[in-house]
């Protein structure tokens, strides 16, 4: 996002905060959404992922209060909520305020002495599109509350609190990738993240190629999709394989050769799920190597292979997504295209030669509208920095 756009958003949000809370905010927080280049459903299997933070984000302006209340207003919903920091527990808050409550709850459980605050929330990460609008909100909330309380930003702790929020307040058994990339993203880079130890290696993205996201507008709520079912199926595969591979903890520990050798231990559906995760881990590592070497053709081929695995073995695609991928691959200058995110809708990500982006956008939009009946949202993404908190001038300093 250009600096002028940041300034415009800051001015607009400060003005709205003044109107709602009759006070001046002292903090501006930005936490990005993300696009996952490759590595789906590998994170909760303690495997490897290759996401990039993007130039769409959750934004919060905030100030301290003198009591233990969190007063929150969400511009997108034009709705408010009030939470007590001493009365937070899963099951008592629903909808978007649950993300706020969960982050405050788990940061406090981690030993952080939070303080009451007024928060105004906005953002431009599309919801239900597989670009992690929820993780961006979680990370932005946590970073804001820590900053207001004078506590040093703990990026790994933020990601862990976000994952706990998803598990216990939102009831999605997610991995940690989405929150981690929102917290530690690096401009002009993807990050190769090891979801076992949370280590992250920056992988440069060539400036002559563009990441283009196509939103099918098929919204999927992960709690109601096949997400939790797939996680259970991966766990079942591990339990069955432990009979002959007792040292394994997750599918991360299983090689393609081991899975092939012991395939007879798994029911057909469970074998397919395991085959996707095991092969996907190998693809992520190969993709990082390809990008390090500037080999976009190899990287694109791995994207395409990953999509076929996600569609056929994990069965997480839907017809509008298939139209987007097929349309993308019909355009010259496209290296690869695949479903990104949790599955069952949302977005595709394509790697497109910089000179072909305009042609790509018009061709994909036309083909999708012809097949599906409406136009998708298409936007080129720039890899961005992770969460940041900026003091605002003119506040009371609180």
Write down the catalytic residue from 118, 178, 253, 313: 178
Give the residue carrying structure tokens 């591979």. Answer: 245
What's the CA gap between 191 and 53, in Å, rounded?
Answer: 9
Distance in angstroms (rounded) separating the CA atoms of residues 275 and 348: 22
CA proximity to 160, closest of 187, 182, 144: 182
Nearest to 14 by CA among 29, 31, 32, 33: 29
Distance CA 157, CA 107 (A): 8
Q: Where are the alpha helices (DSSP H) in the chain?
A: 3-21, 97-109, 133-148, 155-165, 177-184, 227-241, 256-261, 268-292, 296-312, 319-329, 357-372
Cα distances from 280 to residues 16, 21, 112, 182, 329, in angstroms, run: 45, 48, 37, 22, 21
SS3 255: coil
Whether 178 sits among the annotated catalytic residues: the reply is yes
Contact 338, 307 (CB under 8 A): yes
HSE-up of 21 (CA within 13 Å, CB side)? 28
Q: Which residue has the tokens 């880079």?
A: 189
Alpha helices in 93-207 (DSSP H): 97-109, 133-148, 155-165, 177-184
Distance (Å, whole) CA 90 – CA 102: 7
Q: How many CB atoms lie within 10 A of CB 324?
A: 29
Tokens of residue 361, six digits: 């956008």
Radius of gyration, alpha carbons of the chain: 21
- Looking at the annotation, which residues are catalytic? 178
């Amino acid at each position: 996002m250009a600096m002028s756009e940041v300034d415009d958003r800051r001015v607009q949000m400060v003005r709205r905060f003044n109107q709602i809370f009759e006070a001046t905010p002292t903090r501006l927080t930005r936490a990005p959404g993300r696009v996952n280049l490759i590595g789906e459903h590998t994170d909760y299997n303690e495997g490897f992922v290759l996401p990039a933070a993007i130039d769409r984000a959750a934004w919060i302006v905030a100030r301290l209060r003198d009591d233990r209340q969190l007063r929150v207003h969400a511009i997108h919903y034009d709705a408010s909520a009030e939470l007590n920091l001493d009365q937070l527990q899963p099951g008592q808050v629903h909808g978007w305020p649950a993300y706020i409550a969960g982050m405050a709850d788990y940061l406090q459980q981690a030993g952080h002495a939070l303080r009451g605050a007024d928060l105004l929330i906005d953002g431009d990460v599309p919801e239900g599109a597989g670009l992690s609008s929820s993780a961006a909100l979680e990370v932005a909330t946590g970073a804001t509350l820590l900053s207001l309380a004078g506590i040093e930003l703990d990026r790994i702790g933020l990601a862990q609190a976000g994952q706990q929020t998803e598990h216990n307040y939102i009831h999605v058994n997610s991995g940690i990738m989405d929150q981690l990339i929102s917290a530690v993203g690096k401009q002009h880079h993807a990050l190769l993240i090891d979801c076992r130890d949370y280590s992250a290696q920056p992988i440069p993205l060539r400036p002559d190629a563009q990441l283009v996201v196509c939103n099918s507008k098929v919204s999927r709520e992960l709690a109601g999709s096949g997400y939790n079912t797939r996680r259970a199926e991966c766990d079942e595969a591990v339990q069955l394989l432990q009979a002959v591979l007792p040292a394994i903890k997750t599918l991360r520990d299983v090689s393609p050769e081991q899975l092939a050798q012991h395939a007879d231990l798994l029911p057909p559906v469970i074998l397919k799920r395991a085959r996707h995760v095991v092969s996907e881990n190998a693809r992520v590592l190969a993709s990082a190597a390809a990008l390090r070497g500037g080999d976009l053709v190899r990287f694109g081929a791995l994207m395409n292979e990953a999509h076929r695995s996600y569609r056929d073995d994990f069965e997480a695609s839907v017809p509008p997504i298939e139209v987007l991928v097929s349309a993308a691959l019909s355009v010259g200058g496209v290296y690869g295209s695949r479903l990104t995110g949790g599955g069952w809708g949302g977005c595709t990500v394509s790697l497109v030669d910089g000179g072909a982006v305009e042609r790509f956008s018009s061709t994909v939009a036309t083909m999708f509208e012809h097949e599906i009946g409406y136009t998708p949202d298409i936007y080129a993404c720039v890899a961005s920095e992770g969460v940041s908190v900026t003091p605002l001038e003119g506040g009371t300093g609180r």
